[in-house]
Structure 1
Amino acid sequence: MVQVFAHGQLRLYLLALLEDGPRHGYELITALSDRFGGTYRPSAGTVYPRLARLEEEGLVRRSDDGRKATYTLTDAGRAELDARRGDLAHLEAEIAETVRAQASQVRQDVQAAMKGLRADLASAAQQARDAARPVAGAPDPQRTASHRRRVEAEAIVRRFGDEVRADLRRADAGAGVDELTVETLRTVLDTALRTMRSTLR
């Protein structure tokens, strides 16, 4: 995985995340992933050793809660965080710029993929029109096939909408829906709509 945090930055950001209250290790990993719009998710092997080091340094306190360990910021951890507010502000600015760059790359990738799909759909539509040869007095097979495909396409659209709405509700009930998700969804759907309209002309 491409390095996201420079030396010592992840350590600092874990302290900042714990400033809002105690968290499990998994919650910290999820919070980091959410901050990056889901484009970066640190592994447990990255986060837990740093939490252990913070505990050794007396900056966090670990308490076992059943099968999970909860990490809490200590007074020493708060003091370190207060002393490094400038570093934290700089880190937040870097993260915001990284998220913007990743969102831009996602939009470009989606647009490139949809451009290729548009060309493929246009070619397939033209081949279908060229191959159609209606027989006099017989039901128009092209119209019959068209009706069947329309019904199938409408079912696909409904299923897509239902699944996306369900995913959005789950995200909203959990960590929340971030700006990158909305922007990506808008880009994908706008591009898909233009693609479909161009092939249906």
Structure 2
Amino acid sequence: MLADRPMNGYQMIQEIAERSGGAWKPSPGSIYPTLQQLEDEGLIQADEASGRRTFRLTSEGETYVQEHEAEVNAPWESMSANAEDDDAAGLRPLVGQTAQALWQIMATGSADQQARAREVLADTRRKLYGILADGDDQEGGPR
């Protein structure tokens, strides 16, 4: 996103929500640690004006984006392809909300909370595969 224009954290949160079709709206607790890591790696730089930190790519960051264009664009291409699909079941917002909760636990949760989240995710994965294994009982549905 910063290859397009400099942004502050709030603008990035809004941009991610927009690009993901509302499926993912990251929290400040997941955005700012990521920005700090990118800044530590020398890929972005923060400029402070009017009490707001605006982030922009450094020359190293611009080089990285150019050299890894496919990797950098892959999440957005995937989300835009998924956005074209019909989400009649309303799963996309729920997936985004679940991802938000998980990122929050990863960023600020205690070791115990993170262990409990792993258990929930493993159980959820098993249950989802169980749904697929049961097949579709609706006439004409996938088997």
State which of 51, 57, 60 in structure 2 corresponds to 1:67. Answer: 51
| Aligned match of 2:20 | 36
Distance 1:64 1:79, change over 3 A: same
| Aligned match of 1:199 | none
1:46 to partner: Cα distance: 0.8
Residue deviations 1:143-188 (CA, integer Å, cap 9, x gap): xxxxxxxxxxxxxxxxxxxxxxxxxxxxxxxxxxxxxxxxxxxxxx
| Aligned match of 1:5 | none
Query: Aligned partners of 1:57 and 1:89: how far apart in 2?
Result: 20
> What amino acid is the match of 1:33?
A
Query: Aligned partners of 2:30 and 2:82: how far apart in 1?
Result: 20
Distance 1:39 1:68, change over 3 A: same
1:94 to partner: Cα distance: 1.4
Query: Aligned partners of 2:74 and 2:12: how far apart in 1?
Result: 20
| Aligned match of 1:99 | 83
- So what's the TM-score if we normalise by structure 2? 0.57
* Consecutive unaligned residues in structure 1, runs of 5 or more: 1-16, 110-201
- So what's the TM-score if we normalise by structure 1? 0.41
Larger radius of gyration: 1
Distance 1:39 1:86, change over 3 A: closer
Query: Aligned partners of 2:27 and 2:51: how far apart in 1?
Result: 19
Q: Stretches of 4+ moved more than 4 A in 1?
A: none
Residue 63 of structure 1: SS of its match in structure 2? strand
* Consecutive unaligned residues in structure 2, runs of 5 or more: 91-143
Residue 19 of structure 1: SS of its match in structure 2? coil
8 Å Cα contact 2:19/2:76 also seen in 1: no
Query: Aligned partners of 1:79 and 1:49: how far apart in 2?
Result: 22
State which of 16, 24, 36 in structure 2 corresponds to 1:52. Answer: 36
> What amino acid is the match of 1:22?
P
* Residue 79 in structure 1 maps to residue 66 in structure 2: no
> Cα RMSD between the aligned structures?
1.6
> What amino acid is the match of 1:42?
P
> What amino acid is the match of 2:74?
H
**Hey, which of these two has a bigger chunk of helix by percent?**
1
Query: Aligned partners of 1:90 and 1:69: how far apart in 2?
Result: 27
Within 5 Å, which residues of 2 pair with 1:1-201? 17-101=1-85, 104-105=86-87, 107-109=88-90
> Percent same amino acid at aligned positions?
27
Residues matched between the structures, number: 90
Query: Aligned partners of 1:18 and 1:56: how far apart in 2?
Result: 16
Query: Aligned partners of 1:90 and 1:41: how far apart in 2?
Result: 18
| Aligned match of 2:96 | none
